[in-house]
Structures are given as C-alpha cells and as structure tokens.
C-alpha cells in the first residue's frame, strides 16, 4: 500500500519529484509482482487543519526530517496532479 503520497504538496515540494518517487516505488513493487494500492490525500483533514496544528506538525515531523521549508500550499486541490 502506498499512502501519504502527496503530503509534500502541502509544503510546495516539486510535483515532478513526487511523481518520480511514486513511479519508482510502483516499479519496484511490480518487479516483486506485488498487489499495489494507492490511497488519496485526506482532503477533508487537510482543509480542516488549523494553522496552529499545521505549524506543530510541520515543526515536529517535517523539519525534523530535514525539509527546509515551512510554506503551506495555499489551495491543496489545485496542487494535485491527476
């Protein structure tokens, strides 16, 4: 199962890079004849995320993972590539 795909969109990561990483993962799983399930972004949760919770999660998870940005995508639906 591939999940949490696109969470980096909220932090304005390059869509092309995200898509390349997902493609690589799918190719690796296909080589193993794995059944693949991809989940969607939880848009309701994203839209309901308060600025305070956003900052908490950004600091706690994103910055600790080495991501340098704390910018939030203004309109998540428009950042998603179909």
3-state secondary structure 5-52: CCHHHHHCCCHHHHHHHHHHHHHHHHHCCCCCCECCCCHHHHHHCCHH
Question: Bigger pLDDT: 56 or 77?
Answer: 56
| Average of per-residue pLDDT across 13-41 | 87
pLDDT tens-digit series, residues 49-67: 788 887 787 777 666 665 5
Highest mean pLDDT among 30-34, 36-40, 46-50: 30-34
Question: Bigger pLDDT: 7 or 75?
Answer: 7
pLDDT at residue 21 in the model: 87
Start-to-end CA span in the chain (Å): 19
Question: Bigger pLDDT: 66 or 24?
Answer: 24
Compute how many other C-beta atoms are within 10 angstroms of the C-beta atom of residue 6: 19
Q: Is 46 exposed, middle or buried (0-12, 13-18, 19+ CB in 10 A)?
A: middle
pLDDT at residue 34 in the model: 93
pTM: 0.53
């Amino acid at each position: 199962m591939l999940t949490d795909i696109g969470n980096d969109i909220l932090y304005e990561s390059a869509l092309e890079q995200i898509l390349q990483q997902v493609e690589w993962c799918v190719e690796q799983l296909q080589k193993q004849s794995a059944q693949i399930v991809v989940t969607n972004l939880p848009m309701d949760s994203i839209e309901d995320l308060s600025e305070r919770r956003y900052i908490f999660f950004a600091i706690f998870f994103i910055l600790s993972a080495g991501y340098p940005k704390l910018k939030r995508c203004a309109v998540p639906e428009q950042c998603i590539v179909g």
